[in-house]
A = this chain, B = another copy of it.
Amino acid sequence: MMTTINDIAKLAGVSRTTVSRFLNSNGYVGQEARERIEQVIEETGYMPSQSAKSLRTKKTGVIGIILPKISTETSSRVVSGINEVMKKKGMQILLTDTELDPDKEIEYLRLLKSRQADGIILLATNISERLQREIHATPVPVVALGQDVPGIPSLTYADYDASSDMMQLLIGKGHKRIGFIGVAQTDPAVGGTRQKAYKDMMEKHGLEVREAWMAEGDFSIESGYEAMKRIITDNRTEIPTAVFCVTDRMATGAMEYLKEQGYRIPEDIAVAGIGDAVMSKYISPSLTTMDYFNEEAGEAIAEMLLAIMAGENSDKKNMHKYRLIKRDSV
């Protein structure tokens, strides 16, 4: 069937040890042997079995990625960045998708362990005790992106600062009644930190944080639409003059509702998002948002993982840069 190192050895008239040395370019291999092996490999199209190799070396050349959802813009940018640096090291990427289910984060951690991934990048949505225990029981390096998971190196987005800056922009424009569309608190970064920054900034500037101006969505465009609808219909008299949405998708949904109802953006109500989805530049009005440089973040976390795999004793907690993109919705 598949040609093996033994076949190559036989055909080239050498021992498989020599073939192995040739393949891995370690140890000495004579000119003659080298040429014969080269030729036989060429003829047969031989490729070493990774399974056999991994069994011996304990290295698979694969790094696992645990994503909350495969088909989101953020995920694909991050994966692209990770891939960018990993492929240079000849490493492949094994993808898993938790579909936002915390149990699956644990399940996939186990799975990647059994597949002996050389390292794991976790885009967590929670930081439960169980998850932390499971990570601890993982013999290969695990790093987290976007969420500060205690005990492991991570690269997080500067959610607090970015959200504060966005609020600052809104407040600087004179807005007093600012609404908020967030997500569930179980997600510490997106649900927790961004909301905390919102509240802190409101209080810091002596502005009222009114429950009725806050609504929760689930990352989807539709949920942004519904959240906005709730805010408007629950506040007949005093509706907000600006709304801070924690994602661009929800901001897009919110804008849809507002436009439908005849509100002018930003004259009647300003809208801000986070994430710089491609779309945000092309909707009308274009959306003021935060660029989180997801692809670069992917590259950075990959570099971190690589460094740790190379033995660097890293316990780093890094924060990634961000950039405010002012457009027409504010």
Query: Which chain A residues have a beta carbon within 8 Å of chain B's beta carbons?
Result: 1-2, 45, 47-52, 54-55, 60, 62, 70-73, 75-77, 79-80, 83, 87, 92-97, 110-111, 113-116, 137, 139, 221, 252, 256, 278-279, 282-284, 295
Contacts and interface: CB of A to CB of B under 8 A. Distances in A.
Contact of A279 (B116, B139, B282): B282
A137 B43 CA distance: 12
A256 B286 CA distance: 12
13 contacts: A1-B139, A47-B113, A50-B116, A51-B60, A52-B55, A70-B80, A71-B76, A71-B79, A279-B283, A282-B282, A282-B283, A283-B284, A284-B284
A95 B79 contact: yes
Contacts of A62: 94
B93 A49 contact: no
Given A72-B76, A139-B2, A93 B94 contact: yes
Contacts of A51: 51-52, 54-55, 60, 116
Contacts of A87: 97
B76 A114 contact: no
Contacts of A83: 70, 95, 97
A45 B75 CA distance: 30
A45 B54 CA distance: 21
A45 B110 CA distance: 9
Given A71-B80, A87-B97, 11 more contacts: A45-B137, A47-B110, A47-B114, A51-B55, A51-B60, A52-B55, A72-B76, A92-B96, A93-B95, A256-B282, A279-B283
B60 A70 contact: no
Nearest to A69: B80
Give the number of times this chain occurs in the complex, counting copies. 2
A176 B69 CA distance: 44
Nearest to A95: B93
Contacts of A60: 51
Contact of A49 (B45, B48, B55, B283): B55
Q: Taking each of A60, A97, A139, which has the highest tally of chain B beta carbons within 10 Å of its own beta carbon?
A: A97
Nearest to A110: B47
Contacts of A111: 92
A221 B2 CA distance: 45
B92 A115 contact: yes
A110 B221 CA distance: 41
A316 to B, nearest CB: 25
A62 B92 CA distance: 12
A231 B284 CA distance: 25
A148 to B, nearest CB: 25
Nearest to A2: B139
Given A51-B116, A52-B55, A114-B48, A71 B295 contact: yes
A79 B96 CA distance: 11
A1 B58 CA distance: 11
